[in-house]
Amino acid sequence: MLKLEKRPQPSRTLAYLTPVFAVVITMIAGGLLFAALGKNPVEAIRTIFWDPLFGEFAFYYRPQLLVKGGPLILIAIGLSLGFRAGIWNIGAEGQYIMGAIFGAAMGLAFYPTEAWYIFPLMIIAGAFGGWLWAMVPALLKVKFGTNEILVSLMLVYVAEQLLASMSLGLLKNPEGHGFPGSRNLKDYPAAFNDELITGTGMHGGVLTAFLAVIFAYILLNRHMLGFSIRLTGEAPRAARFAGVKPNRLIVFCLGMSGLLAGLAGMFEVSGPSGQVSIDFNTGYGFTAIIVAFLGRLHPIGILLAGLLMALTYIGGEIAQGNLGLPAAAIQLFQGMLLFFLLAVDLLTNYKIRISKRKVAK
Amino acid sequence: MNLSAIDPALLLASLMVAATPILIAAIGELVAERAGVLNLGVEGMMITGAIVGFAVTVETGSPAIGFLAAAAGGALLSFLFALLTQFALANQVASGLALTLFGLGLSALMGQNYVGIKPPRTESLNIPLLSDLPFFGTVVFSHDLMVYFGIALVAATWTVLKYSRIGLVLRAVGENHDAAHALGYKVVRIRIAAIMFGGACAGLGGAYISLVRVPQWTEGMTAGAGWIALALVVFASWKPWRVLLGAWIFGGVSVLQLNLQAAGLAIPAEYLSMSPYLITILVLVIMSADRSRAPASLGRIFHASG
């Protein structure tokens, strides 16, 4: 009979190893899934994980790794702060959309002026949009004790409707021949978030993501606020005795994650995507939840997890084209990853012992 | 704008239909939460139920078998959540989110070949005298069986929770799992049963959307219904009859906004489409003043040591 025994302290070695286990198990289960869909599992896994990096067209796909990884990392870093303290912002998708709308609107308001200050203003607007959208669940939780999970999620649907309204109405391209969607910011140099180094995929958003990783690392390891966040997550009672103000943490964590998600949206709309359109958002806000957990809510871990998840996106697209693997299979694959991660996490906190069933005397 | 085009009898009748999926899913979640389990995977289980029910109905031609399959599919998916939270002792919030993400992917994969198909019709009741009544005939007596099933489910859940031994044990597990364990109740088994009941209900609710409410299959078609069901449980302060009331209010709002869109109200359609979500938030704010009703062990991990 298997028996669980709680470890006095979570195993550190296993804490690093479990994400790797989870990825391996997901590859095996994913291989079975692909086999069930009638594809060669080895070829499918190779196409997803190997080809984008070392395959024939790797020169094209490698920059994509940063383009896709950037927003994931940026959003996940913000989410991880709250998740550590038990504050669940799962509406990052909505904050990402709002960041894009605010950022693009700021840029388009200046069209066709060419000036150096337009792009910085867009960055501020984007961050503000995301922050604003996250302040709704934050303030409602602080003032009324409303559940932030449900409120932040409801706001995703509201943001999606707002996005549709914007691309059909207020921000619609006046020279777009009636097609929905805003002007393309790629044709507007002052507002275009171009690659910083040509051919690398490294745009402003990716740089910001890397800065966020460093910032989060310092915050969590070297700053009192970071300590309060960790303490609240690990020992809420102790945190209260230590004088941590839960309300301030809620406002900070939700605000920060909204701000970073808003930045991600702004850099996406002004760069890789180029315009506000109905199908602008592609679920980065939700995938970032997986990234945050896969990275163990640790900044460096999130950096690696974000790149890995970006790989599955790119590899998934290749597999879609070359092998006819459905897009949904990749989505399922990403979902499975989180499942297995949570399951193997058991090993970090508990020992599994095999014991004989004893009879009470 | 032409408000006279909105017929109150038809409006109320479609309110009953619109309320049914979230009602059934919310009752399932209510039972799980009364047992102390917070399952945020309702959206994932609903969408899985929607495609399973749809696919089985299209293949067999029988909505009844489709609904049964949807319930089984939802329960099966929720069993994954049960494994994670009850055996692997994983965080319930994270596991629920995982279930939703997984369910959305799974349903999209399963539904690829079912886009654009019309399912066989789910027959409405036609009771000789009652269905012909002027107003009530349309509003109350001419729906399909699932509408009545939803209401019966509320009554049954209320009775079982309030008056039966099983209900008492379930509530004990939800209020204080350590005490329940000390009394010899099987906390884990009871919770798994409650989770799977919740999964089956969510599956049924999802299938109702794809088979009756819409009726067709599109990716992500539940569009937050599962999350609204979760909010409904909070709104209802974990009481079955208030879930019914809440479901009718939400059903009413979503039907009314659709009717207003059709009637050509001056407000753009996108803003009207936001209304169910905004009203959910509003209601959550009003209801969250009263926190005393939440089961005391809700969301806490149980591990019998020693």
In a domain, A197, yes or no: yes
Contact A327 B288 (CB under 8 A): no
Full-prediction pTM beyond 0.80? yes
Mean pLDDT of chain B: 83
**What's the pLDDT score for residue B130?**
65
Count of domains for chain B: 1
Smallest Cα distance from B196 to chain A, Å: 18
Smallest Cα distance from A339 to chain B, Å: 6
- Put simply, whether A61 touches B (Cβ < 8 Å) is no
In a domain, A316, yes or no: no
Smallest Cα distance from B159 to chain A, Å: 28
In a domain, A287, yes or no: yes
* % residues pLDDT > 70 (chain B): 90
**What's the pLDDT score for residue B306?**
45
Domain that holds residue B154: 3-122+142-287
- Its sign, for the CA torsion B233, B235, B241, B243, is negative
Contact B285 A90 (CB under 8 A): no
Examine the pLDDT at A27 and tell me if it is beyond 80.
yes
**Cβ contacts (< 8 Å) between A165 and chain B: which residues?**
268, 270-271
Tens of pLDDT, residue by residue over A151-189, are 998 899 999 999 988 888 887 877 777 777 888 877 777
**What's the pLDDT score for residue B131?**
65
**What's the pLDDT score for residue A322?**
82
Smallest Cα distance from B200 to chain A, Å: 20
Average pLDDT for residues B79-103, to the nearest whole number? 87
User: Which of A57-66, A297-306, B25-34 has the lowest average pLDDT?
Assistant: A57-66
Residue among A90, A146, A328 whose CB faces B284 most closely: A146
- Put simply, whether A348 touches B (Cβ < 8 Å) is no
Smallest Cα distance from A146 to chain B, Å: 5
In a domain, A167, yes or no: yes
Count of domains for chain A: 1
In a domain, B135, yes or no: no
In a domain, A192, yes or no: yes
Q: From the CA atom positions of chain A, what is the Rg in Å?
A: 22
In a domain, A135, yes or no: yes
- Put simply, whether A345 touches B (Cβ < 8 Å) is yes
Helix (H, G, I), strand (E, B) or coil at A268: helix
Distance CA B175, CA B170 (A): 9
Contact A327 B305 (CB under 8 A): no
**Cβ contacts (< 8 Å) between A140 and chain B: which residues?**
281, 284-285
Provide the pLDDT confidence category of residue B125 given band limits of 50, 70 and 90. low
More confident residue, A233 or B164: B164
User: Which of A307-321, B18-32, B77-91, B250-264 has the lowest average pLDDT?
Assistant: B250-264
Contact B105 A338 (CB under 8 A): no
In a domain, B293, yes or no: no
**Cβ contacts (< 8 Å) between B278 and chain A: which residues?**
154, 158
Contact A334 B101 (CB under 8 A): yes
**Cβ contacts (< 8 Å) between A136 and chain B: which residues?**
281
Distance CA A290, CA A201 (A): 23
- Its sign, for the CA torsion B55, B61, B67, B68, is negative
Q: Which one of B79, B102, B114, B234 makes the best mutation probe of the A interface by having the most chain A beta carbons within 10 Å?
A: B102
Domain that holds residue A223: 71-301
Q: Are B30 and B202 contacting, i.e. CB atoms less than 8 angstroms apart?
A: no
CATH number at residue B157: 1.10.3470.10
